[in-house]
Structure formats: C-alpha cells, structure tokens
Amino acid sequence: MRLSAASSDNGFGLNEATVRFISETKREPPELLQFRLNALKIFKDLPLPDWVPPELHDVDFDRMRYYVAEGQKPQRRWEDVPENIKTTFERLGVPEKERAFLAGVEAQFDSEAAYAKMQEYLENKGVIFTDSREGLCTYGELFKPYFSKIVPPTDNRFAALNSAVFSGGSFVYVPKNVKVQ
C-alpha cells in the first residue's frame, strides 16, 4: 500500500503504542485515550468468547494493521471527495442511495470517514449527524452518557478490541419533539 505524505499507518501489531498512535493521530482528548488503554487491557485479559468458531482461535492480532488513513477529512460535498474514493463508493451505490432516500450518509474509507452528508432540512431542525470523534469532542454532553453502553468493552474480547482501536462510527442526535421522516 502506498500512502501519501499526509497519511498515517501505525504498522502491524496491537499494543499500547498502537492505541496511543491512533489517539494521537485523531487528536483525541486524554479521557478518550484512557478509555482506549483500559479497553486494551480488558482485551488482553479476556479469553475468546465461547461462540467464536474454531478457525478463528489462532488469529494473530499482532499481524494486523489497526489504523491506516490517507489524511482525509470527511467531505460534505460529493464533488470534493477524491476520485479513487468516489469510484469505490459509486460501486457500492452510496451516492445514488443518498440522493434517493437517505436522510444522511457517512462513508468510511480505510480508517477514516471520507464522506459525510446530511439533508439540509434536518440540519435546520437541529439534528446532528457526525462521526464519533466529533460527537465526543464537540457534543460530549449529549454523546458521553451513551458512549459504549450497548456493548461495553467488558462484554467480550472483540468488544474490548473494538473499543481500543475504533476509528469510525457515527453520532446522531435528534432534538426532543423533532420528527425525522
């Protein structure tokens, strides 16, 4: 894989340096780094869940890459998305689906969101649709009470892994008494 000068690649392996790299690259607040480090410890301490099929028992988590990005920031206009990413999304039908019926869409390429758009009429009603990092950092009072509550890192080893190295996800907030159709 060839990455641009603005790219980020932590290389292979899952350890504290990997988690710190992700958090630093994403310019996260210290409490989010601490959340990630705690999740990494939980990951290392938990066994594989019973429901994991035998062929996955020998997965070597140190032979994987956990963060690769080409320095992209989510674009709000389809015209501003780089051509190689547009081609990938067009093959998936993302633009057509958005124009046809979605109230909003966020598309991820490698480890970061490359395109995010919400219908303007919803923005005008106070609806927030953004990535998880922005949700945590900008709308923390709305986001934090729910962050990692449905499947916490302590649920199972894979939930802990996700919590330690996540780089995507969406935050949606609909104000009280606002109807989204």
* Domain range summary for the chain, segments of one domain joined by +: 8-173
User: Of 89, 90, 116, 88, nearest to 104 (Cα)?
Assistant: 116
User: In the prediction, which pLDDT does 137 show?
Assistant: 85
pLDDT band at 6 (very low <50, low <70, confident <90, very high): very low
* Mean pLDDT, residues 64-80: 65
pLDDT, tens digit, for every residue of 24-61?
A: 888 888 999 999 999 999 999 999 999 999 998 999 99
Rounded distance between C-alpha atoms, residue 90 and residue 166, angstroms? 25
* Mean pLDDT, residues 143-172: 91
Q: Which residues lie below 8 Å from residue 125, measured CB to CB, with a gap of 6+?
A: 175, 178, 180
Provide the 10 A C-beta neighbour count for residue 86: 18
pTM for this structure? 0.68
pLDDT, tens digit, for every residue of 113-131?
A: 544 555 677 778 888 887 7
User: In the prediction, which pLDDT does 130 show?
Assistant: 79
Do the beta carbons of residue 9 and residue 65 sit within 8 Å?
yes
Rounded distance between C-alpha atoms, residue 18 and residue 181, angstroms? 41
Rounded distance between C-alpha atoms, residue 29 and residue 38, angstroms? 15
pLDDT surpasses 80 at 181: no
Phi/psi at 2 (nearest 5 deg)? -105, 125
